[in-house]
C-alpha cells in the first residue's frame, strides 16, 4: 500500500485498496476452510458446520503453538509432496506413451517444440 500512497496520494484510494485486499484474503480463507470441510465430511460422520469448526480450531492452534516455523515446515513438506507427485506423473506419462523419443516426435509433429517463432 505504500507504493499506492506515494503514487496517488489519495487517502480514499488507500482505504479502498485495504478493503479490497481484506475482502480477497477473507474470501480465500473461507474457500480454503470450506474445501477442507468438504474433504473432512467424506471421511468423518460430522456435518459441514462441525468440520468447518474443527478445521478452524486445528489450524489456529497449529499456527499459534508452532508459530511461523511450523507453518514454513508444513509449506516445505507440501512443496516436496507436490513436486514428487508431479515427477511421478510425468515419468508415468512418458512411459505409458512409449518413451521419450515417442513424446518428442509427437511434440515435433505438432510444432510444439518451436518456442520463438
98 lies in a domain? yes
48 lies in a domain? yes
pLDDT of 4 strictly over 80: no
7 lies in a domain? yes
Handedness of CA 57, 59, 64, 70 (dihedral sign): positive
Phi and psi torsions of 116, nearest 5°: -115, 55
* Residue 95 neighbours by CB under 8 Å, 6+ apart: none
What pLDDT score does 44 carry? 94
117 lies in a domain? no
What pLDDT score does 54 carry? 94
Q: Within 1-117, where are the H helices? A: 2-8, 11-43, 48-96, 100-109
115 lies in a domain? no
What pLDDT score does 24 carry? 97
Domain count of the chain? 1
* 95-101: average pLDDT: 95
Structure confidence by residue, pLDDT tens digits, 27-53: 999 999 999 999 999 999 999 999 999
Domain that holds residue 73: 2-109
pLDDT of 117 strictly over 80: no
Contact between residue 14 and residue 4 where contact means Cβ atoms under 8 Å apart: yes
More confident residue, 83 or 2: 83
34 lies in a domain? yes
77 lies in a domain? yes
114 lies in a domain? no
Amino acid at each position: 500500500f505504500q507504493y499506492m500512497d506515494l503514487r496517488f496520494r489519495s487517502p480514499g484510494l488507500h482505504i479502498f485498496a485495504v478493503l479490497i485486499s481484506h475482502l480477497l484474503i477473507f474470501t480465500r480463507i473461507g474457500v480454503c476452510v470450506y474445501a477442507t470441510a468438504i474433504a473432512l465430511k467424506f471421511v468423518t460422520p460430522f456435518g459441514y458446520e462441525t468440520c468447518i469448526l474443527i478445521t478452524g480450531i486445528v489450524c489456529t492452534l497449529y499456527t499459534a503453538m508452532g508459530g511461523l516455523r511450523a507453518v514454513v515446515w508444513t509449506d516445505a513438506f507440501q512443496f516436496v509432496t507436490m513436486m514428487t507427485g508431479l515427477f511421478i506423473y510425468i515419468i508415468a506419462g512418458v512411459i505409458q506413451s512409449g518413451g521419450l523419443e515417442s513424446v518428442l516426435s509427437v511434440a515435433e509433429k505438432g510444432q510444439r517444440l518451436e518456442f520463438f517463432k
